[in-house]
Chains A and B, each alone.
Chain A
Amino acid sequence: MRARSGRQRRYTARSSPHFHKKHDSLVEFRTYHGEAEVDAAAEYDLGVYGTGPMVQVRRSDVLVVGSGGAGVMAAVEAANAGASVTILSKEPLGYGDTRISLGVMSTSPDTSTGDSEEQFAEDMIRGGEGLNDPTLVRILVSEALEATATFETFGHVFDRDHDGRLKRHTVPPGGHRASRAIGSPAAGISMGHAMRSAAARADLDVLEETVCFELLVQDGEAVGATAVHMPSGEPIALLAKSTIIAAGGAGSLYYPHTDCMPSVTGDSYGLALGAGCELVDMEQVQYLPFGITHPPSLLGAPCGEPVVAGPFGKLLNNKGELVLENIMPMTRAQVARSIVEEIGRGGATEHGGLLLDLRPNLASPQGEFFVRTLKKAGAPILSVVRRAYGRKAADLEEPWDVLPSAHYNMGGIKTDEWCRSSVPALYACGQAQGGVMGGNRLGSTSLTEIFVFGKRAGRTAAREARSREYAEEKLARGPLEKLQALRGARGTHRPIHLKRALQRLMWERVGPLREAAGLEDALEEISSIEEQSRDLQISEIRRCNAEVADALELPHMLATARAIAISAIGRTESRGAHVRSDFPDRNDAGPVKNMVVRMRDGECSLRPVVTSG
Chain B
Amino acid sequence: MNRKISIRRYDPETDSEPRWDEYTVPSGDRTTVLEALAHIYENLDPTLAFGSGCRFGSCGLCAVELNGQPRMACSARLKDGMKIAPLAGMPVLRDLVIDRAAFFDGLRKLRIFISEQSQSGEPQILRVPKLHARLAACIECLACNSTCPSYDFAKDPLAGPYLLVKLAQLHLDPRDTTDRREQAQDLGLSQCAECRSCYCIRGLDIRRDVLGLLMGEES
Contact = CB atoms under 8 A, between A and B. Distances in A.
B44 to A, nearest CB: 12
A30 B126 contact: no
A186 interface: yes
A100 B174 CA distance: 26
B100 A92 contact: yes
Given A33-B108, A193-B166, A546-B41, A95 B53 contact: yes
A486 to B, nearest CB: 13
Q: Name the residue in A261, A262, A546 with the highest tally of chain B Cβ atoms < 10 Å from its Cβ.
A: A546
Interface in A280-303: 295-298, 300-302
Interface stretch (B17-25, B133-141, B179-187, B192-200): B133-141
A185 interface: yes
Interface in A18-52: 25, 27, 30-31, 33
Contact of B128 (A27, A160, A545): A160
B46 A150 contact: no
A153 interface: yes
B14 to A, nearest CB: 8
A150 B49 CA distance: 38
Contact of B107 (A165, A189, A200): A200
A99 interface: yes
Interface in B52-75: 52-59, 61, 74-75
A141 B71 CA distance: 42
B164 to A, nearest CB: 14
A300 B111 CA distance: 38
Interface of A is mostly: loop
Interface string A158-198: 10100111100000000000000000111111101100111
A390 to B, nearest CB: 12
Contacts of A322: none
B137 to A, nearest CB: 4
B42 A186 contact: no
A152 interface: yes
Interface size class of B (residues with CB under 8 A): 35 or more
A205 to B, nearest CB: 12
Contact of A497 (B42, B55, B120, B137): B42
Interface residues of A, number: 74
A201 interface: yes
B59 A185 contact: no
Contacts of B1: none
A141 to B, nearest CB: 15
Contacts of B107: 196-197, 200
A543 B94 contact: yes
A152 B124 contact: yes
A553 interface: no
Contact of B58 (A33, A100, A297): A100
B47 interface: yes
A318 B34 CA distance: 31
A189 B42 contact: no
A166 B125 CA distance: 8
Interface of A: 25, 27, 30-31, 33, 91-93, 95, 99-100, 107, 145-146, 148-150, 152-155, 157-158, 160, 163-166, 184-190, 192-193, 196-201, 206, 208-209, 231, 256, 259, 261-263, 295-298, 300-302, 380, 384, 387, 494, 496-497, 500, 539, 541-547
Interface of B: 11-13, 28, 30-32, 34-35, 41-42, 46-49, 52-59, 61, 74-75, 93-95, 97, 99-105, 107-108, 111-114, 116-117, 119-128, 132-134, 136-140, 166, 169, 173, 175
